[in-house]
A = this chain, B = another copy of it.
Amino acid sequence: MTSPHVLAFDVFGTVVDWHSSVTRELAAFGERNGVHADWARFATDWRAGYVPAMDRVRHGERPWTRLDTLHRERLLELLDAAGISAGDADIDHLNRAWHRLDPWPDAVAGLTRLKSSFTITTLSNGNVSLLTDMAKHARLPWDCVLSAELFGHYKPDPEAYLGCAELLDVSPGQVMLVAAHPADLRAARAAGLGTGFVYRPAEQGPGRTARRPPDGEFDVHAEDFLDLADQLGCPPGE
């Protein structure tokens, strides 16, 4: 591809470490409620509800529903299955753990470097309020906050990738999606975007290491955001 004008970032797993952040919040919830459980596994099970729930929206089986609502429905199912009860306010707070995810150690420094050369935006299935709260929590220096919610289409629907280019008034080829997930990148490529893979081996938590896609499958393969900044020719950070 030609040099991109916009870098659009997948967020969960690519920018922030959802597994350890959510596990920590679940453990704190357990302490408050006097409940013991395998919270790392609970976090994995919570996240496992994500794709099937979005797919029901994507396939028209239910109207547009923001991710906060999908997260809460899955959480209630899992709490019920585990026989755990809690008050509504505590459940609301726990559900918003996804608004308080911590960044990978290189994320803020890398984004700050990338921002000097490119427009950097989220392009996430998280809703706007989730992404805005997260940016505040994690001090992520986005130029703007774009979400599937604005397009009424979850990734990997092409409308999400094309909508990002449209709102930023560039051609799809002037946008590079940056993501740790090959399926997201492949859908972006099919919509005409450039692709930047970033390897996040620990995304799924302890005991599970993500596989690398074959070298050369994507326009750029980077070890982290600092490596991405190097490969895209950004000036060194301060």
Chain A interface residues (CB < 8 Å from chain B): 68, 119, 121, 127-129, 131-133, 135-136, 142-146, 149-150, 167-170
- A68-B169, A135-B144, A144-B144 given. 14 additional CB < 8 A pairs? A119-B132, A119-B133, A121-B132, A128-B144, A128-B146, A128-B168, A129-B167, A129-B168, A129-B170, A131-B144, A132-B144, A132-B168, A136-B143, A142-B144
Bound: A128/B165 CA distance, A: 11
Residues of B within 8 Å of A150, CB to CB, are: 150
Residues of B within 8 Å of A149, CB to CB, are: 167
Bound: A132/B135 CA distance, A: 16
Counted per complex, copies of this chain come to 2
CB distance from A119 to the nearest CB of B (A): 6
Bound: A144/B144 CA distance, A: 6
Residues of B within 8 Å of A168, CB to CB, are: 128-129, 132
Residue of B nearest to A147 (CB): B167
Bound: A167/B143 CA distance, A: 18
Residues of B within 8 Å of A133, CB to CB, are: 119
CB distance from A138 to the nearest CB of B (A): 12
Q: A144-B144, A150-B150 are in contact. Are A169 and B127 (CB under 8 A)?
A: yes
A/B interface sample: 8 pairs, CB < 8 A: A119-B133, A121-B132, A127-B167, A132-B144, A143-B145, A144-B145, A145-B145, A149-B167
Residues of B within 8 Å of A143, CB to CB, are: 132, 135-136, 145
CB distance from A188 to the nearest CB of B (A): 19
Residues of B within 8 Å of A119, CB to CB, are: 132-133, 136
Residues of B within 8 Å of A135, CB to CB, are: 143-144
